[in-house]
Amino acid sequence: MKRPLPVTILGCLFIAAGLVGLVYHFQERPLEPGIVLVSLVRLLAVIGGVFLLLGHGWARWLLIAWLAFHVGVSAFHSLSETLAHLALLVVVGYFLLRPPASNYFRSSHTT
């Protein structure tokens, strides 16, 4: 089955967001103690994006969880940031859980 366009777009966006975040955090704060945790979170976005493109169903759940984590973290910052992440979570969840994507992941891999 052909990969749905929203899955391709989201996979590429998560890869880009993870890589940009990694580069940014290493350039801005390379010696901070929390950089390892931040880098792991960014790396999860890259991994999720790559495996989303490869058709692994677990990757969509990883990316939804990744965004849900960001909703929680942004709640400590500001209401507008929380609402922005929440809107992203709803949009990404919509596209990754609707029938075209679900059928694609079901037909690609059952892992």
Give 22-81 pLDDT, tens digit per residue. Answer: 888 777 776 777 788 888 999 999 999 999 999 999 999 999 999 999 999 999 999 999
Contact yes or no for 59/48 (Cβ under 8 A): yes
Residues 104, 111: Cα–Cα separation, whole Å: 13
User: What pLDDT score was predicted for residue 111?
Assistant: 46
- Residues composing the chain: 111
Residues 93, 30: Cα–Cα separation, whole Å: 33
Residue 110 has pLDDT above 70, yes or no: no
Count of domains for the chain: 1
User: Structure tokens of 21?
Assistant: 């975040």
Please report which confidence band the pLDDT of residue 107 belongs to, taking 50, 70 and 90 as the band edges. confident
Residue 45: which residues within 8 A CB-CB, separation 6 or more? Answer: 14, 15, 17, 18, 21, 63, 66
What is the extent of the structural domain holding 27? 5-108
